[in-house]
Structure 1
Amino acid sequence: MLILENIISDRGSRYAVSGGPCATEQDAAAFIKELKRNKKFAKATHNTWGLITADGPVKADDGESGAGMVILRMLEREELQDHIVVVTRWYGGKHLGGDRFRHVQEAVRLYLAELRG
């Protein structure tokens, strides 16, 4: 499990991104459960994720409507299969509007760059 913390901060909201090998929706549930063993991630406002499996794409917005699709599109572009990417947000009290999607994209971009080395 690769975790990049405190990568983006905007108007009080903070973001982290994490991911790892994952082949099924059940693996994704186990991955999220493991991530949330860290109390910091369990208390996060949103843990949105995307995953492309042999059976097709799977995502969860966790209340951040549309964020899972942003992650999926980036994974499809990279042709990254069987690897979950989770973008975590701690809400800072101010609405970010469309900027939140740019932050999700940037978080995934940073993760993919780290993954490539």
Structure 2
Amino acid sequence: MRQLTGVISDRGSKYAVSGGPARDRAGVDAFLKDLKKDKKFAKATHNTWAMLMADGTPLKGDDGESGAGMVIVRMLERAGLTDHVIVVTRWYGGKHLGGDRFRHVQDCVTAYLDDLKA
């Protein structure tokens, strides 16, 4: 499991991004279960995730952050990354971020993909 914490902080909300290999929904569920063994991630407001299966089928979960899973799917498609789940975690800071939350999800995924290449 690869994790980048403290990627973004905005108006009290904090973001992290994690990822690792997953071939199907069972793999995603196992990854999320492993991630949430860390109480910090278990108590997060949102653990939004997405992956592309090898055949191009997208899987996603918004976890209450409507539309965020699709943002991750689109970025995975552009990167051509399959059989790999990416989870963007948000700890809500008390202030609504509006459309900025999607930019933050994109920035987290970009940071993750850049770290993966390094």
User: Gaps spanning 5+ residues in structure 1: where?
Assistant: none
* 2:50 match: 50
Deviation at 1:54, TM superposition (A): 3.0
The aligned amino acid for 2:23 is: A
- Normalised to the residue count of structure 1, the TM-score between the two structures is 0.99
Task: Tell me the equivalent position of 1:82.
Answer: 83
> How many residue pairs get matched?
117
1:88 Cα deviation from its structure 2 partner: 0.1
Matches within 5 A, 1:1-117: 1-55=1-55, 56-117=57-118
C-alpha RMSD of matched pairs (Å): 0.6
CA distance in 1 between partners of 2:8 and 2:113 (Å)? 15
Give me the whole-angstrom Cα distance separating, in 2, the residues matched to 1:42 and 1:90.
10
In 2, the alpha carbon distance for the partners of 1:72 and 1:91 equals 22
CA distance in 2, matches of 1:116, 1:72: 18
The residue matched to 1:41 in structure 2 has which SS? Answer: helix
Distance in 2 separating the partners of 1:97 and 1:30: 31
Could you tell me which amino acid in structure 1 is paired with residue 68 of structure 2? A
> Secondary structure, in 3 states, of the residue corresponding to 1:76?
helix
Cα deviation, residue 35, structure 1? 0.1
Q: What is the DSSP-based 3-state SS (H/G/I as helix, E as strand, rest coil) of the residue aligned with 1:62?
A: coil
TM-score by length of 2: 0.98
